[in-house]
Structure formats: structure tokens, C-alpha cells
Amino acid sequence: MNDSGLETGGSKRAEEPPVVPPPLGGGAQPGAHTSGADEALATIVPYRNPYGLTAYYLGIFSIIPCLGLFLGITGLALGIAGVVYAKRHPEAKGKVHAWIGILVGGLFGLLNLVAIVVMLAASLLSPY
């Protein structure tokens, strides 16, 4: 009999090691082994490259008139930072998202600037 009052039957089983949960905090540490599913997710949504991901969303939302000027310029700047970050940390991925932020944010930021200048010039040159 053991401490709980049950017989063990004479055979001893090896104790299993305790299961340790993964650490909290999101992403894997650089150099740590990651699963294939984690790598696939990091390719689709580059959560390890916050600059590239933020540039992508700012570039997309720079389509909004008037706000697009500020969102586009910010997306352009963060896209450049995202490309640099992806080069320094290849495991971070997100280079394509950063380039989309650069191209789309720069394009719509420039178009919004041109539209604002044309509207101001039209209002100043208007005879009425």
C-alpha cells in the first residue's frame, strides 16, 4: 500500500516529468526553434516586424481622402524602417508588407498632397 491507501501492485512506474507551459509574451526568441505553423503565420501576418505590418495598414488606409496625406507619409517612413528591420532580422519576415506600405503609402500620400494643393489653388484663384 502507498500513502493514499491504494495498492500499487508491486510494479513501479517511472515518474513522468512535469509539463512546463510555454512562456507568455507572444513570439519566439531569435534563434529558437519554431514550428512550421508559426512560420507560415509569420509569413502571412508578419507580427515579428511591427514596422512592416504598421506600414502596410497605413498604406492601405492612406486611400482615405485628406487623412491619406498623413497616413501615407507615415506609412512610407515606417515601410523604410520595416525593410531595414527585415534585413537585420531575417526571421521577422514582413519585407513585402513593408514594400506595400512604401509604394501604396507614398503614392496615395502624394496624390492627396496634389489634391490639397489643387483645391487650395482653385479656391485662391477663384474670381468669386
What are the tens digits of pLDDT across the range 70-106?
999 999 999 999 999 899 998 888 888 999 999 999 9
Full-model pTM? 0.64
The total of other beta-carbon atoms located within 10 Å of residue 102's CB is: 22
Query: What are the domain boundaries of the chain?
Result: 46-125
Nearby residues of 30 by Cβ (< 8 Å), 6 or more positions away: 89, 91
pLDDT of 10-68, one tens digit each? 555 667 777 766 656 555 555 555 566 666 666 677 788 899 999 999 999 999 988 99
Compute the distance between CA of residue 67 and CA of residue 107 in angstroms, rounded to an integer: 14
Site of grid cell 498604406: 59
> What single DSSP character describes residue 48?
T
Grid coordinates in use for 120? Answer: 487650395
pLDDT number for residue 122: 93
pLDDT number for residue 127: 83
pLDDT number for residue 45: 75
Grid coordinates in use for 26? Answer: 507572444
